[in-house]
A and B are shown apart, each in its own frame.
Chain A
Amino acid sequence: MEQIIDKYRGDSTAMIAILHDLNAAFRYLPREALEIVSDRLSVPLSYLYSAATFYRSFDLEPCGEHEIQVCLGTACHVRGSERILDALSRRLGIKPGETTADGKFTLKRVNCLGACALGPLVSIDQKHHGHLTIHQAERLLEAYKDEHD
């Protein structure tokens, strides 16, 4: 925590970068962490909260071990990524934005991952899997499940 803030030398303009690092370290932004950042950067807590709710890449609830991001940017959308999201959602038994009860997976819809040529695109733990069909996406999910069982 202190390390992350110190890395940016307590610079309030690095607020977003700090929040990113914290989100990665804790897999969400705990309230206590936000309070410490607010105190160290002299930025109002409400302002941090406002930013944390504005950007999709921040979480205010703890995330699962694996973060699945389904891209719903325009390119992926027209290639049917909505149906991939639905399929994964059914498989996992959770809605987008939720985490499975065992804490393994968090399913998210994101607006654009910036790799439109690869669409439809699913990113698991920051690793991109492009040109997916529904079937492939489901197999990919199973692979992650098995790998860790």
Chain B
Amino acid sequence: MQTVTLTINQQEVSGHPEMTILELARESGIIIPTLCHHASLNPIGACRICLVENEVNGALLASCVTPIASGMIINTESSRVLEHRKMILKLMLASHPDSCLVCDKGNRCQLRQMAAELGIGSSELDRIPQTAVTEEVNPFLIRDMSKCILCARCIRACQELVIEGALDYYGRGFKAKPATLFKSPLENSECTFCGTCVALCPTGALMEKEEFYRGTIGTVVESTCPYCGCGCSISLEVKENRVARVKPAAEDTGPGTLCVKGSYGCDFIHSPDRLTRPLVKENGSFKEVSWDEALAVTADAFSRIKDKHGSDSLAVFGSANCTNEENYLLQRFARGVLGTNNIDNGSSLYYAAARQAFYDSVGFPGITYTLNDLTGTDLILVVGAEPAASAPLINYEIKRAVKLHGAKLILIDPRKTKLTLFADCWLRPEVDTDLMLLNSLAKVIIDENLVDREFIARKTENYQELLDSLATFSLETAAEVTGVSLEQIRLAAGLYATAGKAAIIFGTGIMQQLQGTENVKALLNLALLTGNIWRKGGGLRALLRECNAQGACDMGMLPDFLPGYYPVEDLPARKKFETHWQANLPSKPGLNALEMMQMAGEGKIKGLLITGENPVAGFPGSALVEEALASLDFLVVQDLFLTETARLAQVVLPAASFAEKEGTFTNLEGRVQKIRKAIEPLAESRPDWKIILQLAAAMNQPLPFNSLEQVQKELEELVPLYKYDWEEKSPKEEDYWETMAEHRLPLKRFPRFSPVEYLPPLKAPDTQYPFILLAESALFHSGSGSRSSKSGRLSRFSASYFLQMNKIDADMMKLQPGDRVKIVSPVGELPAVVEHSESLPRGLVSLPRSRSDYPVALLFSSPPETSASSSALQRCYVRIERSCSDEPEK
């Protein structure tokens, strides 16, 4: 490659022609001070602090935007450079307020650091301080534009990293400022409060609100965000055993970005509602007891129930928010000590459908992932997902791929999502007809001969069966049923099949349907037809709601699989675990989470251990779940808070939060990431893994571990999936699949096409319930809301009770925005406030799945028997009644 040679500070250096002077200087170990420059943003040369002199012609150049040229003789610290650099900084300081002593940014202010480095004290310039404090009502950030130095880091962060575009320059000259459209407050703009701009602002112009400590913090602990499945890296800033601030950590994979939950939602750690001591229920009320007593009561109850009613009268419901190590221990405890396969985790409610589909099609129930991010892909197909709310980081990635790297975007969703603006093609099928639509895409791809013949012949099975199943498929009927025109179907199929590298991202919208498993199989068919299944930049990704949904499943927190997805019926695999664990393991698949609740109601499950889940708030048919749990002989709950579920327990054990323990989370790509202990466990709370070990010991069947490292060692030994350090030894694209199949996965065959057929709804919709209600993920909340509603800032800012509906529907019912209504479903009712929505078609209404004290799930009934392995539904039929009373909302 061509190189350019020049001199920087008498040192001869060379680089490639696209490099800037700054980049080459940094690479050569020469420090040039910068303010507006940031590695993850495009350089714009706004601040001019990085001036250098080209001694050939005496030009002063902003090194961050000047490309290198051969023969340059650069001096980064000549007397002219220093003089100008100082003057530039003095000019900045002259319009900057004199408030350093009381400014919250304090020693973290880069302007102040720069002044100190350049030795600037008081200056000879007349001061023209500016006045401009923007009033914001949001609880997350505060803007003081008098401290702005116009570096445009915030603007670039908003436009280049999170592609929200809420900010741009306003005005010019001395009056120029970064502002929102029409200078409206942030809460009325596109801003999602992701906090990226705050993390990048060099001065006190953008500051976090409501920190408990405002000074400079020495202790920073790198960890992983505990909310959704994206698994963003975060830096916890710690002061006096408290987490004072959370910042995005710089990642090798890309710029550090978070969403509002990661940046401002971790204050649940210090919520005054945290459980501090173990509780035991006596005569209907809780009493604080010692750990020994609580563990003894629990161990005694479990032993008693096991002896009297057998192992399978016990069940364990683990959490997709606990670490891999904890999930591993918990399932070993359930299988080895309690002796039951009645094990499940919280992600099953939506993820089970996809896992089943992957098991049938690919032969491995873990979702496939590809090693690189979406940046390199040619096309992204997003189906039934609103990543802006459920997986913000993926949302940024999709937008960056489309906006900055020219990827195409196809959306399949009845709702108008925030990605619609970026889409090349938006298919808007009638609710629950996705399968018909996906099959029609496959049909077009086959008919128009757009398939990857070689891949199909070499790497797949069952192609003929798929051809047969689609032989009589009528595209006209499909267009009629789905309401999507033939041209659009052809356009989307053509785009997908001819793109090259095409990734599929799907969400709960498609998993939580009666035909959820079939939907995912249809997506897999598309990927197999075009050879996109294991291709780098291709593949399929499910958006997972919890930080460790993937890990909990990998660890065997499932009724039918041992760790690493060895089926429980598989004798050789079971033997291996039995030898290792020195225990007899049950050989029949156990009950899944929904079945557990049902069996508890029927009295067949007597004792239940729940860690970190809140089924009363999160499960469909909340009222029945509550009844079922209350009828148990013995319920023990490990949680951070006294949740709706914990209130029903006989014993409540206070668990430590993610910031108070070590371990690993596996994100939705399958990346295993560390969480690190930042502070000591609050009061008497203990990490879940310790509690499980102590519980096993209390039952006189101690598990042979003293430390997490020992657990990790066993886990790596028994789960080949986790043996592999994929960061270091990432296999080449072409043999990725072979490497995976050979070393990590219990695989015995090639991926298989699965013929799937769309089934029209069995019964006509009940005219009494004319609307279809969608429960949607909310950006400001997570899961059942147990933690996010304990975050002071998140819960105060987000309203949970707004019912979104199409304006025409609302007008026909004479409902105005702000009107109070009652939503009635066959199994429950909930008050709400009407809001018009442009994103919903007629007949659809939606509520956010948000606070645990506003459980949308109570409107939903349990899924019908026919789909035992499938997920709980995300939609139900409702009617909307005007509420007569003026009862106050929660």
Question: A residues engaging B (CB < 8 A)?
Answer: 31, 44-47, 49-50, 53-54, 60
Task: Determine if B733 is an interface residue (Cβ-Cβ < 8 Å).
Answer: no
Q: Which of A31, A44, A53 contacts B165 (CB 8 A)?
A: A44
Q: Chain B interface residue count: which class?
A: 10 to 19
7 nearest A-B pairs in the assembled complex, by CB-CB distance: A46-B168, A50-B168, A54-B172, A53-B171, A53-B170, A50-B169, A44-B165
With the chains together, A31 CA to B171 CA distance in Å? 17
B165, A49: Cβ atoms under 8 Å?
Answer: no
**Contact between B172 and A53, CB atoms less than 8 A apart:** yes
Could you jot down 6 A-B contacts, CB within 8 Å?
A46-B167, A46-B168, A49-B168, A49-B170, A50-B169, A60-B182
From residue A1, how far is it (CB to closest CB) to chain B in Å? Answer: 19
**A-contact 0/1 string along B787-815, CB 8 Å cutoff:** 00000000000000000000000000000
In the complex, what residues of A have CB within 8 A of residue B167's CB?
A: 46
> Smallest distance from the beta carbon of B154 to chain A beta carbons, Å?
13
Closest-CB distance, A24 to chain B (whole angstroms): 21
Cα distance A23–B166 in the bound complex, in angstroms? 24
A32 to B: closest C-beta gap in Å: 12
The 8 A CB mask of B172-185 against A (1 = contact, 0 = none) is 10000000111000
Q: Which residues of A contact B165 (CB under 8 A)?
A: 44, 46
Q: Is the CB of B171 within 8 A of A54?
A: yes
* Min CB–CB distance B67 → chain A (angstroms): 25
* Contact assessment for A54 and B169 in the assembled complex, using a CB-CB cutoff below 8 Å: yes
C-beta contact mask, B93-125 vs A, less than 8 Å → 1, else 0? 000000000000000000000000000000000
Q: Closest residue of chain B to A47, judged by CB? A: B168
Report the minimum CB–CB distance from A35 to chain B (whole Å). 10
Q: Residue among A46, A47, A60 with the most chain B CB within 10 A?
A: A46
- B596-625 with Cβ < 8 A to chain A: none
Which residues from chain A contact B182 at a C-beta distance below 8 Å? 31, 49, 60
Provide the bound-state CA to CA distance between A109 and B181, in Å. Answer: 24
User: What is the bound-complex CA distance between A47 and B168, given in angstroms?
Assistant: 7
Chain B positions within 8 Å of A45 at CB level: 181
Complex Cα distance A54/B167, Å?
Answer: 15
Q: A60 — which chain B residues lie within 8 A by C-beta?
A: 182
B134 to chain A, nearest CB (A): 16
Q: Which of B145-173 contact A (CB under 8 A)?
A: 165-172
Q: B225-269 toward A: CB 8 Å interface, digit per residue (1/0)?
A: 000000000000000000000000000000000000000000000
Expressed in whole angstroms, the minimum distance between the Cβ of B175 and any Cβ of chain A is: 9
Contacts of B180 in A (CB 8 A): 46
CB neighbours (8 Å) of A31 from chain B are 182
| Apart from A45-B181, A49-B170, A49-B182, 6 more pairs, CB < 8 Å | A44-B168, A46-B165, A47-B168, A50-B169, A50-B170, A53-B172
Give 1 or 0 for each of B650-693: 1 = CB within 8 Å of chain A CB.
00000000000000000000000000000000000000000000
A31 to chain B: closest residue by CB: B182
Chain B: CB-nearest residue to A46: B168
How many angstroms from the CA of A21 to the CA of B172 in the assembled complex? Answer: 22
In the complex, what residues of A have CB within 8 A of residue B170's CB? 49-50, 53
Compute how far the CA of A26 lies from the CA of B762 in the bound complex, rounded to whole angstroms.
57
Q: Which residues of B contact A46 (CB under 8 A)?
A: 165-168, 180-181
Complex Cα gap A53–B173 (Å)? 11
CA distance A45 to B168 in the complex (A): 10
The CA of A49 and the CA of B169, in the complex, are separated in Å by 9
Q: Which residues of B contact A47 (CB under 8 A)?
A: 168
Q: Is B171 in contact with A49, judged by CB distance below 8 angstroms?
A: no
With both beta carbons as reference points, the residue of chain B lying nearest to A49 in the complex is identified as: B181
Interface centre among A31, A44, A50, A54, by most B CB within 10 Å?
A50
CA gap between A45 and B581 in the complex, in Å: 62
Expressed in whole angstroms, the minimum distance between the Cβ of A33 and any Cβ of chain B is 13
Q: Which residue of B lies closest to A60 (CB)?
A: B182
**A53 neighbours in B (Cβ, 8 Å):** 169-172
In the complex formed, the residue of B with least CB distance to A55 is: B172
A54 CB contacts on chain B under 8 angstroms: 169, 171-172
Nearest Cβ in chain A — how far from B110, in angstroms? Answer: 25
User: Which residues of chain B come closer than 8 Å to A44, judged between CB atoms?
Assistant: 165, 168
CA distance A50 to B180 in the complex (A): 9
A19 CA to B170 CA, complexed, in Å = 16
Q: For B181, what are the chain A residues with a Cβ–Cβ distance below 8 Å?
A: 45-46, 49
A50 to B166, CA, bound (A): 12
Task: Give the complex CA separation of A26 and B504 in angstroms.
Answer: 46
Interchain CA distance A47-B165 in the complex, whole Å = 9
Task: For B172, list chain A residues within 8 Å (CB).
Answer: 53-54
Residues of chain B contacted by A50 (CB below 8 angstroms): 168-170
Q: How far is the CB of B583 from chain A (nearest CB, A)?
A: 61
B318 to chain A, nearest CB (A): 45
Instruction: With both chains docked as a complex, state the minimum distance between the C-beta of A74 and any C-beta of chain B, in angstroms.
Output: 16
With a cutoff of 8 Å between Cβ atoms, the chain A residues found around residue B168 in the complex are 44, 46-47, 49-50
Report B426 CB to chain A, min CB distance, Å: 16
**Most A Cβ at <10 Å: residue of B180, B181, B182:** B181
A49 to B177, CA, bound (A): 12
* CB-based nearest B residue for A42: B421
**Docked pose: A137 CA to B172 CA in angstroms:** 30
What CA separation (Å) do A45 and B170 show in the bound complex? 12
Q: Across the interface, which residues of A come within 8 angstroms of B166, CB to CB?
A: 46
* Cα(A60)–Cα(B167), bound, Å: 18
Measured in the bound complex, the distance between the Cα atoms of B168 and A46 in whole Å is 6
Give the docked Cα–Cα distance between A49 and B172 (Å).
12
Q: Give min CB distance, A7 to chain B, whole Å.
A: 26
A47 to B181, CA, bound (A): 9
Note all chain A residues with C-beta closer than 8 A to B171: 53-54
User: Cα distance A4–B396 when bound, in Å?
Assistant: 35
Q: How far is the CA of A31 from the CA of B165 in the complex (A)?
A: 17
Distance between Cα atoms of A49 and B180 in the complex (Å): 9
Q: How far apart sit A60 and B171, CA to CA, in the bound complex (Å)? A: 12
Distance from B226 Cβ to chain A, minimum over Cβ atoms (Å): 33
CA of A60 to CA of B180 in the docked complex: distance in angstroms?
15
User: How far is A49 from B165 in the complex, measured between Cα atoms in Å?
Assistant: 12
B167 to A, closest residue via Cβ = A46
Q: CA A54 – CA B169 in complex, angstroms? A: 9
| A44→B169 CA distance, assembly (Å) | 13
Roughly how many angstroms separate A47 CA and B166 CA in the complex, as a whole number? 10
Which of B165, B168, B170 has the largest number of chain A CB atoms within 10 A? B168
CB distance from A28 to the nearest CB of B (A): 13
| Bound-complex Cα distance A31 to B183 (A) | 13
Residue of chain A at shortest CB distance from B172? A54
Q: How far is the CA of A100 from the CA of B171 in the complex (A)?
A: 23
